[in-house]
């Protein structure tokens, strides 16, 4: 394999170095391109552009491979928990018993919010989307910790990371309770991460929610499967904000906003809205598939397709199995699951989807599990954000610890008006 790339331009030849990753991925290093040629590259949607070297997550989209710090997602899904996987993603190794205990205790100790945060919740209308509340409250929470504002406080990283991972869950639960006019339920130190979230979501002051192990396991798996995914839209946003040396909470709040979009983390909500529409109209899915193939319809088969996976998203496979087993245990038969399976079956045989290599992604079945647990649809992207927090923090950490880190500042090609001059108001037509 060549160690450099040749570029012929305007009768001149330029040599650009190649970069190769540990899994054989190769990139042309264009750091000197503009100095050499006074040209830049242009890449709509960054589909061909790497923004960084990272050691956190490896994806092979052609083979449907996903590994966190080298460990296959299938093994972590079967053998690990969200908290243990969060530690792996952030610190780069599976924790020892002592490290896991310390991390878990830090999460428990930081589960509650500053009491004055309650007044911020009062300010939101009950109709406020929980992703708007989540982003606002993550930043609000940082105001109660003046020491947080500086990026360079490495000594406080562990505490701040644990506080962010723990509080994102509390903020989410409090926003749900507020939206339903229910009293907030404080975290209980006896409960571990996911059980505590379910407790804060569904318990009453007079009656504790029954914590079913199967439900905890299913939701913990959802968090784990969402924990990181290399340079997706929201993680790239977190790195963009971290590159200006903004604090960890500001970076996470920006990540929440990017994740909210229906093409990204908002897709799990859009999938269930799509399935409900199909169910309501008594369509067996074929009408919707026809519309999804017709660009004019403005409809897409939500939960299908992926910028990187041109094969089945390995997470979708795991979630689909978890779906079946949870609904079986809870004795729920959800017509939306049947519709989803029929849509998948038809799409995987349809040349439109096959030619474009469109397969189910992580969002296609995840909403069915959340519905079965009783999580309302508007909370689905929030669940995604809770799961993705360790990945965002790990990417923040890579930038914060990089002495050579530079601010992200892409170039552009200007296609606007050439030189013109100001026209006084009385002369304008
Ligand atoms: C996530 O990046 C990540 O890693 C994200 C994520 C993570 O963990 O962080 O995996 C989480 O965001 C998963 C994706 C969730 N989004 C959806 O499910 C929304 C539906 N899917 C799409 O809109 C789309 O597939 C994207 C956004 C996921 C990817 O878009 P791309 O890579 O820009 O692809 P594209 O829009 O250029 O599509 C290529 C072609 C087009 O048709 P042609 O112009 O070639 O004729 O495929 C078509 C598209 O119209 N197409 C679809 C489709 N997705 C793509 N047609 C119908 N239904 C779809 N879902």
- Across all residues in the chain, what is the average pLDDT? 95
Question: What pLDDT is recorded for position 146?
Answer: 73
**Sequence-distant contacts of 15-18: CB under 8 A, at least 24 apart:** none
Catalytic, 306? Answer: yes
Which pLDDT band holds residue 262 (cuts at 50, 70, 90)?
Answer: very high
Question: Measured in Å, how far apart are the chain's first and last C-alpha atoms?
Answer: 62
Tokens of 60: 């092979």
Question: What pLDDT is recorded for position 155?
Answer: 73
Exactly one of 199, 229, 306, 350 is catalytic; which is it?
306
pLDDT for residue 151 is more than 90: no
Taking the model in full, what pTM does it have? 0.96
Question: What pLDDT is recorded for position 147?
Answer: 73
Report the range of poorest mean pLDDT among 154-158, 227-231, 375-379, 413-417: 154-158
* 72, containing H or E segment: strand 71-72
165-182 pLDDT, tens per residue? 999 999 999 999 999 999
The ligand 1 site (C-beta within 6 Å) comprises: 45, 229, 232, 263-264, 267, 292, 300-308, 356, 358, 361-363
* Neighbour-count burial for 121-142, b at 16+ CB within 10 Å, e otherwise: beebeeebbbbebbbbbbebbb
Which residue CA neighbors atom 56 of ligand 1 most closely?
300
Question: What pLDDT is recorded for position 37?
Answer: 96
Of 266, 305, 306, 312, best ligand 1 pocket probe by most atoms within 8 Å of the beta carbon: 305
What's the mean pLDDT in 304-332? 96
Atom of ligand 1 nearest to the CA of 303: 18
Which pLDDT band holds residue 153 (cuts at 50, 70, 90)?
Answer: low
Please tell me the distance from the alpha carbon of residue 236 to that of residue 51, in angstroms, as a whole number. 8
Atom of ligand 1 nearest to the CA of 361: 13
* 71-72 sheet: strands from edge to edge: 57-60, 65-68, 71-72
What's the mean pLDDT in 196-204? 98
Contact 134, 171 (CB under 8 A): yes
Which residue CA neighbors atom 55 of ligand 1 most closely?
305
Residues in the chain: 429
Exactly one of 363, 402, 421, 426 is catalytic; which is it?
363
pLDDT for residue 152 is more than 70: no
Q: Is 184 helix (H, G, I), strand (E, B) or coil?
A: coil
Please tell me the distance from the alpha carbon of residue 260 to that of residue 255, in angstroms, as a whole number. 9
């Amino acid at each position: 394999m060549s160690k450099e790339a040749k570029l012929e331009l305007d009768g001149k030849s330029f040599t650009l170095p190649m970069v190769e990753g540990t899994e054989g991925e190769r990139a042309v290093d264009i750091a000197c391109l503009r100095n050499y040629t006074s040209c830049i590259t242009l890449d709509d949607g960054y589909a061909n552009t790497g923004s960084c070297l990272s050691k956190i997550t490896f994806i092979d989209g052609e083979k449907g491979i996903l590994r966190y710090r080298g460990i296959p997602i299938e093994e972590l899904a079967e053998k690990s928990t969200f908290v243990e996987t969060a530690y792996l993603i952030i610190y780069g190794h599976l924790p020892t018993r002592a490290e896991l205990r310390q991390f878990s205790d830090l999460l428990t100790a930081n589960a509650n919010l500053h009491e004055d945060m309650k007044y911020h919740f009062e300010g939101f209308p009950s109709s406020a989307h929980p992703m708007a509340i989540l982003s606002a409250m993550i930043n609000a929470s940082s105001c109660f910790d003046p020491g947080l504002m500086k990026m360079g406080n490495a000594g406080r990283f562990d505490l701040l990371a644990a506080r962010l991972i723990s509080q994102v869950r509390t903020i989410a639960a409090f926003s749900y309770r507020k939206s339903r006019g229910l009293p907030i339920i404080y975290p209980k130190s006896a409960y571990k991460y996911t059980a505590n979230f379910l407790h804060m979501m569904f318990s009453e002051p007079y009656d504790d929610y029954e914590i079913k192990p199967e439900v905890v396991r299913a939701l913990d798996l959802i968090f784990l499967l969402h924990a990181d995914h290399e340079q997706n839209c929201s993680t790239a946003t977190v790195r963009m904000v971290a590159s200006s040396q903004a604090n960890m909470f500001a970076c996470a709040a920006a990540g929440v906003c990017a994740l909210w979009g229906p093409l990204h983390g908002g897709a799990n909500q859009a999938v269930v809205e799509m399935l409900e529409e199909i169910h309501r109209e008594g369509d067996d899915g074929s009408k919707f598939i026809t519309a999804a193939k017709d660009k004019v319809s403005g409809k897409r088969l939500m939960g299908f397709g992926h910028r990187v996976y041109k094969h089945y998203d390995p997470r979708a496979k795991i979630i689909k199995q978890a779906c079946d087993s949870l609904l079986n245990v809870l004795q729920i038969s959800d017509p939306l699951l049947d519709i989803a399976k029929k849509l998948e079956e038809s799409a995987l045989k349809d040349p439109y989807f096959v030619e474009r290599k469109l397969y189910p992604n992580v969002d296609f079945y995840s909403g069915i599990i959340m519905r079965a647990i009783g999580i309302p649809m508007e909370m689905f992207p929030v669940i995604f954000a809770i799961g993705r927090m360790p990945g965002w923090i790990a990417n923040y950490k890579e930038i914060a610890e990089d002495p050579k880190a530079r601010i992200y500042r892409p170039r552009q090609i200007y296609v606007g008006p050439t030189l013109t001059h100001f026209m006084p108001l009385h002369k304008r037509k």
